[in-house]
Structure 1
């Protein structure tokens, strides 16, 4: 009850002090408002941009290890570039060999992709990302369907002419019509549509999207496209287990299996690369960490100015209320009550400035920036309020301490 009473009394004093000189209060809060606005605006923009870019790379999957000829990261500086081109691509035999022996993965799959044109009557969709998949594709990569179903294992094994297509393709080939069960033509061959992907929407970059993608059985794909060294190269991928931090166990086991399958001697170097799909996302995250640090620097100077402004108004407030402090202490007010009273006022001031900055960012999030959607997250709101509180405490602690240590007799005599 005492704490609540002190809080209420401090709130009343703070409200009276701030409203008594509104112009001075507003000018003092501008620094904190601008600083919090700068920091939270940068963080909101960075978070939204980072999430948009990472979602654009969702087609790579999460917690996935791929077998490729080329590494995602740059290899040794002295490694001849032509050796990468001489490496053999993955094969169906290697996929089956790995599927039988790999124990550190949730699932293993193989897929191959090419650009194709889909037709239905007089309608056509060009630039479709056609992918031939194994049955385990759904266990490694996310296959979210809005309607229809995924392939059965028998349909994959028998290379049935079935297809799962994206929303954009469906709307182009059969506008305003149900498409499940309808036929489409790919390279002159008829395919029956059994599923439609959930709509992703337009991405920030021109990267593969499920809206413009089509899945067919791997065997059906190889009937239309040659796969191998001089054709389309398949990709073998494995999804790691949740408890395999960094996919260390999966990487080691996959390396051993691939070397055994390709008959590499212990002294021979790898003729393949194992790539973690998180590498690209981590690289993107590192870039945005630098941008976030720049946001702290930019906003930090404004907050520093705002902190000095709050400290200044608190020193003036102590001087104006010295007589009242003396009366309070003569009536039995403890030092901690005076300290809490002025400290609360400083924090209250800073929170008003910070809250105003956050409100401005919230209004900013309604701006249309093309395909980029700005989202003010709860984390950034709490960050802004937390920084504001800290600035209030730091700015108000010295004036509040001076007020608490005033001699009551001398304070009452002050005119």
Structure 2
């Protein structure tokens, strides 16, 4: 109880000292405000940028293994690049065999292929630069395809390669601006398709990655009627086989080992022959993104710390001046029985107060910036960054105020009273 009373008393003395020198207080906390603003704004921008980049890469899915010719990351720099081009492309036969042979380690096996730069037409309305994607029925189990209106394909539609389509929001609004696009028809590559579903609008992305807004999904058989599929990996459209793993398979290691063995067996590779395929996972890209932004975050923190250092020196200088001005009061307090730790806490809390107020002001400025509307990269001030800013403020307050507080606590009361 006594400790709490002394603590509150120290806070009260510190607050009165700050109010009595308001202009000096404001000038002192400006350095801390700028420092915290610099650090937290950097972390906020980096976190928001990383979140937007990861969101832009959401098209690769989660817990999915992709069978492809080329790896997403090149872990073997000495591997001859031309061998990648000699690899065969994944085929429909391999997809069918995988679908029949894989154990319960998977939640869905799909094959898909896509081409960009297509033009969709309805009378005089047209939309260029659309992606046509042919998918098998299980594609909805592998990838995220949030249908806002309508429905997904039926197994009969996929097996019969019917001309039905699920279109993005931009396609629906552009081709049919005056009403619902469901049940309407459009032309693509000389064929007429009927719209059975509309995907939820995705909006702008910071990266130029595939967007559902301009994506037209059709059955894989219908896609094969328009485009020739690649067999050698050099000509035609190269399909991709995607396998969704289970949550219980941590790291998808069991699924990867099983798929590798099956594909090697399907392609009749001998034990000593190297793989002529790549098993890609989204973790490869997300790990690269994480490493990149960790480096950016460290660089930003180092730059911001210089501003914080200047603010810390400013607080320390003001605290030395404050001790000098209040030396007589310190002597009177000690002569009336004030303990050394009471004097120490009084000045230490004053320094922490200064830094906390300055840090809160810096965080408030960052929050104001996050309110500015942005389509490409909305900024978000996280609770972790707010906590970090306040914690750094407290640490700087302790470091800047500890030496002046110790000097004040160790003053001789007689000499201190005579100082005025």
In the alignment, structure 1 residue 401 sits paired with structure 2 residue 403:
no
CA RMSD of aligned residues (A): 2.1
For residue 174 of structure 2, the aligned residue among 152, 172, 175 is 172
Give the whole-Å Cα distance in 2 for the aligned partners of 1:197 and 1:334: 71
Residue 402 of structure 1, CA deviation: 2.9
Asked whether the equivalents of residues 204 and 375 of structure 2 are also in contact (C-alpha less than 8 Å), the reply is no
* 2:39 matches 1:34: no
* Residue 13 of structure 1: how far off its partner (Å): 1.7
Which of 277, 281, 285 is the equivalent residue of 2:282?
Answer: 277
State the partner residue of 2:220. Answer: 218
State whether residues 111 and 139 of structure 2, in contact with CA within 8 Å, keep that contact through their aligned partners in structure 1: yes
1:335-358 deviation digits (Å, cap 9, x = unpaired): 333332222211110011111111
Please state if 1:320 is matched with 2:325: yes
2:148–2:199 CA contact under 8 A, matched in 1: yes
- Distance in 2 (CA, whole Å) between partners of 1:270 and 1:349 is 63
Counterpart of 2:381? Answer: 376
Q: Please name the residue that 1:105 is paired with.
A: 106
1:7-64 per-position Cα deviation (integer Å, ceiling 9, x unaligned): 4323322222122223322232222111111111111221222222222221111232
Structure 1: gaps (5+ residues):
none
CA deviation string 1:307-366 (max 9, x = no partner): 121122222222322333333344443433333222221111001111111122222224
**Distance in 1 between residues matched to 2:107 and 2:405, nearest whole Å:** 60
Matched, 1:353 2:358: yes
User: Cα offset for 1:236?
Assistant: 0.6
SS in 2 for 1:168: helix
Secondary structure of 2:272 counterpart: coil
1:337 match:
342
Moved more, 58-67 or 370-379: 370-379
Q: Check whether the contact 1:6–1:341 (CA below 8 A) recurs between aligned residues.
A: no
Residue in 1 aligned with 2:17? 17
Residues in 1 aligned to 2:250 and 2:176: alpha-carbon distance in whole angstroms? 45
The answer to whether residue 135 in structure 2 is matched with residue 133 in structure 1 is yes
| In structure 2, C-alpha distance between the alignment counterparts of 1:156 and 1:345, rounded to whole Å | 72
CA distance in 2, matches of 1:150, 1:407: 84
Question: Which 10-residue stretch deviates more, 369-378 or 177-186?
Answer: 369-378
TM superposition score normalised by structure 2: 0.92
SS at match of 1:89: coil
Give the Å deviation of 1:89: 0.8
Give the secondary structure class of the aligned counterpart of 2:165. strand
The counterpart of 1:392, out of the listed 360, 382, 397, is: 397
Separation in structure 2 between the aligned mates of residue 195 and residue 346 of structure 1, nearest angstrom = 62
Aligned ranges 1:61-72 → 2 under 5 Å: 61-72=61-72
SS at match of 1:389: helix
Unaligned stretches of 5+ residues in structure 2:
none
